[in-house]
Structure 1
Amino acid sequence: MRARIINHYRSLERQEMAITAEAVKNAYLGQGEQVKQKTLIEVFTQHNKEMAASLKWGTMKNYFTTAKYLKEFLTNRFPGGDIILKQLNYEFISSFELYVRTNPIHNGDPCTQNGTMKHMERLKRVINWACKMDWLHKNPFDQYQLKFKRKERDFLTELEIKAIESHVFVTASLQEVKDLFVFSCYTGLTYCDLIELSPDQIAPDTQGRCWIYTNRMKTEIRVDVPLLLHALSILEKYKNHPAANQRQKVFPYTSNQEVNRQLKLIAEAVGIKKHLTFHLARHTFATLLLMNGVPIETIKKLLGHTKITTTMIYAHVVNAKVGMDMDAFEKRMDFIKNPGR
């Protein structure tokens, strides 16, 4: 009996509960309502379960990867392979960051600085969620700063886009993926928005210009995109496509994995060394607009961003644009000095 009482006492101690004679007695008799402290893995699992209904599979997959890192870290560091929320502190957060950085899940594929920060960002979101649920009253991330490394975003030049457009592929699947990619370069739409685009989302305005009226699947933000002639010609090509008509969409379906595989083949065939992705297509769209004098506020609206700082990542002020701006400035200055010329 004494041993059982001591075990209940230690159990309450481990769970950081208020230890009183009454609490020990109730635990021993199996009575009373002892509130069990939430553990980190328990909270992370519950978060993923509840968010699965609102987050896309690609996002959820990243949370599962972070959870895997966390379980490995806890197993190596704590005997029980878990930790109660109240024990979380800055030292734990820093140690987990170091573990992610130095212990790759896949051999020979360590996390980059930004990859590590993405894992820390997801953990931070789960901890913030736990704080909102009143399971944790002091946030261990209060003094922690996410440090993403700013990197230059790549994009295609006009010559590279033309090279892809003009290349004719014998394989129908390659040709379809090429058209999807080029369409993204001229509209800024993501793969998931493109593949789910339906004919009723395309309509002319009062001036006769055709527009895409849609909501971004990622953020559900309204995006209205006026269609350029290059994009219109691609739409016309798929107007009576049997596979597209069968699914009542603008384009036939190709999985994201297959699209990425085909884009590698397209890059090799055209002789482009850049890594072709739909993110690259969006970067290209933003850069082309910027190069041709479209204001950054308009680009923000076309890309469906909530913050202008996000748009600035896509919009490169390349040397050619700097040169064009300086030429225009020089002409204006020359006109001021010589108004009669």
Structure 2
Amino acid sequence: MLFYPKRRFKEQDRFVPIYIRITLDGKRYEWTTGRKCNFDDWDRTTHRVKGNKEAARDINCWLDTLYARAHTCRQDLYLAGKGFTPLHVRKLMQGEELDPPKMLSQAWGYHANQIAGLVGKSYTQGTLVKYNTALKALKKFILLKFQLDDIRLDKIDYQFIKDYDFYLKADYGVKNNTAIQMQKKLRTVMKIAYEIGWIRRDPYLAYRAKTEEVNREFLTTEELGALAIKKFSSKRLRVVRDLFLFSCYTGLSYADAVKLRSTDILKGDDGGLWLQTHRVKNNNRVRVPLISPAIRLIDHYKSYPRFLDEDFVLPQLSNQKANAGLKEIMKVMGWTKWLTFHCARHTFATTVTLTNGVPIETVGQMLGHKNIRSTQLYARVTDTKVSIDMKPLKKKYEGQQLELTNNN
């Protein structure tokens, strides 16, 4: 490292800027020290300004400071164990970041691209759509709060997370549980960025969120029976009703039900028919012994028109059209409860199985859940089940005698 006065070509001014030059492994980088001196006063042996005047001492003191600073930065870079250049020394000396800071869009794009590449393997198309939806909300928040299109990862801290949570609920207009799901997307991206080394701390370490219990609609035994025998004049509504009933009797989601093929219907060890498939959502295996109504629906649609060589068990209908048809069915049935296709899984868990004494562990396995906690979100103990379970206890206490005093 050395200092030198730099006189430009044909420059006549006696006072010229003093430059610092750092050379490392043949690579050179130089920049101005911010000081000037008389070109004739420069000592080419000591690389300092000649003389003992106050101006000379001030300049030389500053150059000594830069010299010590440069060697300290070089030592710090060496101890870090990474390769470095003179430019890295200069950046560290001037308090600049050695590497460009990573942006949120880079981390989000990194994870989203991996999801897109694994759709159909580890992820579903629905997962990618949810990430894109969460990113749109996040961009709106960043634009509103910071007037920026993007933000550095190291600027996302606990306050950012709390403000984003408030924005989702107050301004973006989503409910608590939806806000938590959108936060989970950002939390996953930040965790990946932390593990890669793009940020030094995980901003979600102190974040805690509590989901609210949701009133999950399901059909009672009476309602399920009424729907099963209802005659609809519209063929479209009959198909929607039958698809819904099939899920009520098997616990399959809409996506799993419509992709079911004849090869997924097997004969079990008990001699009865079983369906065996893998869930679209998480690829978990599902095995369900088929009850009579489900078998009759399969047989009914064996002669349903198919396209080309399709081998689907049930008619193919988009999820949007199926849910729209359910809204019409609600009106025809005179029901006020809000039906969606997912209500069928709740009906299977609550009305068809648990109410009839099927253990919750068995129900969870048929629903394709990895743990019992997921099943408990669907399962609801109905009054019928409570009544059945309480009968032995009521009978036990029927003859219980009590010593009661007269209140008069």
In proportion to residue count, which structure has more strand?
2
Name the aligned partner's letter for residue 170 of structure 2: T
Equivalent residue number for residue 354 of structure 2: 290
Q: Contact 1:244–1:252 at 8 Å: present in 2 too?
A: no
CA contact (8 A) 2:326 2:341 kept: no
Q: Of the candidates 177, 186, 198, which is equivalent to residue 240 of structure 2?
A: 177
In the alignment, is the contact (CA less than 8 A) between 1:191 and 1:256 conserved in 2? yes
- Greater mean deviation of Cα atoms: 219-228 or 118-127: 118-127
* Partner of residue 97, structure 1: 165
Contact 1:90 1:143 in 2 (8 A): yes
Matches within 5 A, 1:299-310: 299-310=363-374
Residue 225 of structure 1: which of 288, 294, 297 is its match?
288
TM-aligned CA distance change 1:332 to 1:247, over 3 Å: farther
Residue matched to 1:23: 88
CA–CA distance in structure 1, aligned partners of residues 383 and 171 of structure 2: 40
1:322 pairs with 382, 386, 397, which one?
386
1:248 is matched by which residue type in structure 2?
D
Other-structure match for 1:67: 135
SS at match of 1:214: strand
Aligned match of 2:223:
160
Contact 1:155/1:283 (8 A) holds in 2: yes
Query: CA shift at 1:291, angstroms?
Result: 0.7
Task: Map residues 239-318 of structure 1 onto 2, 5 A cutoff.
Answer: 239-243=302-306, 246-288=309-351, 289-318=353-382
1:206–1:184 CA distance, 2 compared to 1 (3 A): same
In the TM superposition, residue 299 of structure 1 has moved relative to its aligned partner by: 0.6
Kindly report which structure 2 residues correspond to 1:7-86, keeping only aligned pairs within 5 A, or say none.
22-23=87-88, 35-52=99-116, 53-54=118-119, 55-86=123-154
1:120 aligned onto 2:183: yes
Q: Which moved more, 1:283-292 or 1:61-70?
A: 61-70
Question: Which of 185, 198, 206 lines up with 2:269 in the alignment?
Answer: 206
C-alpha spacing 1:98/1:206, structure 2 compared with 1 (3 Å): closer
Question: Residues of 2 paired with 1:231 and 1:43: CA distance?
Answer: 46
Separation in 2, partners of 1:39, 1:24: 24
Deviations for 1:99-156, whole angstroms, at most 9, x for unmatched residues?
112222xxxxx21111221211211111122222222231100000122111232210
Q: Deviations over 1:38-73 (max 9, x none)?
A: 111221122222212333222222211211111111
1:190 is the counterpart of 2:258? no
Q: Retained in 2: the 8 A contact 1:201–1:212?
A: yes
1:243-295 residue CA offsets vs partner (Å, 9 max, x unmatched): 27842111121111111111111111111222222221001101121111111
| Equivalent-residue separation in structure 2 for 1:214 and 1:190 (angstroms) | 12
Tell me the percent identity: 36
SS of 2:135's equivalent? helix
Per the normalisation by structure 2, the TM-score is 0.71
Render the CA deviation track for 1:184-227: whole Å, top value 9, x for unaligned.
Answer: 00000001101100001101123321000111111111110000
Q: How does 1:128-147 map to 2 (within 5 A)?
A: 128-147=191-210
The structure having more radius of gyration, on CA atoms, is: 2
Q: Number of aligned pairs?
A: 312
**In the superposition, relative to structure 1, how do residues 122 and 291 fare at CA in structure 2: closer, same or farther (>3 Å)?**
same
- The whole-number CA distance in structure 2 between the counterparts of 1:166 and 1:294 is 25
Which is helix-richer, 1 or 2? 1
List gaps (5 residues or longer) in structure 2.
1-16, 18-30, 33-76, 400-408
- Alpha carbons 2:217, 2:339 under 8 Å: kept: no
Q: CA RMSD in A?
A: 2.7
Contact 1:120 1:146 in 2 (8 A): no
TM norm structure 1: 0.84
Partner residue, 1:13: none
- Range that drifts further, 181-190 or 249-258: 249-258
Q: Is 1:216 equivalent to 2:279 in the alignment? A: yes
How far the C-alpha of 1:333 sits from its partner, in A, is 7.0
Higher-RCO chain (CA-CA 8 Å, sequence separation at least 6) = 1
Deviation of 1:87 (Å): 2.1
